[in-house]
Every structure is written in structure tokens, then in C-alpha cells.
Amino acid sequence: MGRERAASSKDRRLLAHTGRVATVGVLALFLALLVYGLVTKSPETGIDDSLARASPVTAPGFDLPVLQPGSLGRGLASRLAPALADRRVALRELGGRPVVVNFWASWCVPCREEAPLLERSWRVARREEVLFVGVNQQDITEDARAFMREFRISYLNVRDQGNGTAREWGVTGLPETFFVTAEGKVVAHVIGVLSAEQMREGLAAARSGRALGARGGGEQRPTR
């Protein structure tokens, strides 16, 4: 009897120990998954950190499918023809000219407020071979194209299908706009609807290479 009770007590202790080990293992797995999710879903902050120190930072690259090639004008069209031939555009293919990168979606109400200013600014800036690129995300393709038709958007637009590009650029909401020099350095970032003054200052910074930093704009919608 004594031996049976001792064996039973030993079995209970073994089961209790096994249960504790299993619980610790489950918690460790949960924490690992949580950290992985935060790392993979959280936007990068390197651009704004560098701009806060008045230091231009190399723009994150992208290689995305073309949503609309746009009306680039004779000079830009001929230079970008090889890049657009496969209906994909990489940022490195756009080098040698300042670039304005605007993240947007058709469901974003503030993006509608901003769209006319972007188009007007593009029509002037392209004469000096400044390139505008719209990066559409979290959207339905036909809705995005209807938006561009409504606002007569005539600059190049690409599609960030997996939101990976937005995360690399540190985008947390829409719209957001980045100003990039001809050498591929980000010098300004406007969070929210940008004003005409912010557009002028951003374009001047992209031409001169002088870092302006990250600035708050108007209204913004959080990404989904």
C-alpha cells in the first residue's frame, strides 16, 4: 500500500511538473508570436528619426506594379520608358530627379481634399522634371482608378499590395507625403493633408537637399 501511495504521489508530482513546463512553453510561444507580429507590422521610424536631426536619409527602395503610368511629358516619358515597359517600377529606376512620394487610398476622405493640390503641383513641377509617384494601398483597384479619374490624376501611380512599402517608409496613416532628392535622400515628410506652403517648401528641399524634417499636416486617416 505504501509503495502504491508513494508511486501515486510521484505520478502527481510528475504530472504537475509536466503541466507547468507546458504552460511555460505556451506562454513563451505566445510572447514570441506577439513580438514577431509587432516587429513585422510596426512601421519603421528611421526616416523621421534622421530628419529630426536635420539629416537626409536614403529613401527605402520599392519595386511595385504600375497602377497608372500617367502623362509624364515627352522628356520624362522617354527616360522612364524602359522602367515602365514591364509594368513595374523600382525607386532606383527613377533616380536623377527629385521625387514626391504620396501614400493614399480611395477610401481616405482627407486624400480627396489633397488630390487637387497634388495634381496642380505636378503639372507645374514636371516641367522641371520633378517626378510625382502615388503609392496606393489597402484599396480596391477599380476604386483607386475611379478616384484617379475623378480628380484627373495624371502622374505615375503604383500599388503597394502587401503594405510592406508603407511599413518601410514608416507610414502610419493616409495621406503621407515624402520629398526625395535626385540622389535618393528623403529630406521632408508631411503627415496628413499637406498645404500649398508645405508643397512649395518640400519641393525646394528636394531640389536643394536641405532636410526640413517631419511635419504635421492636416487631417489623416489611420491605415487599416
- Give tens-digit pLDDT for 76-133: 777 888 888 889 999 999 888 999 999 999 999 999 999 999 999 999 999 988 999 9
Cis (ω within 30 of 0) for the bond into 175? yes
Angle subtended at Cα 181 by Cα 175 and Cα 183, rounded to the nearest 5 degrees: 135
CA atoms within 13 A on the CB side of 106: 17
Residue scoring higher pLDDT (175 or 7)? 175
Backbone phi, psi, residue 166, to 5°? -60, -40
List the grid coordinates of 169: 517608409
C-alpha distances out from residue 151 to 58, 75, 114, 120, 140, Å: 31, 24, 10, 10, 17
Domain ranges, ordered by start, for the chain? 1-42, 46-222
Level-2 CATH architecture, domain 46-222: 3-Layer(aba) Sandwich (3.40)
What's the whole-number average pLDDT of the chain? 85
C-alpha distances out from residue 219 to 168, 176, 197, 205, Å: 22, 10, 16, 23
Contact by Cβ (8 Å): 88, 62: no
Tell whether the model's pLDDT for residue 164 goes beyond 70. yes
Query: In the prediction, which pLDDT does 197 show?
Result: 98
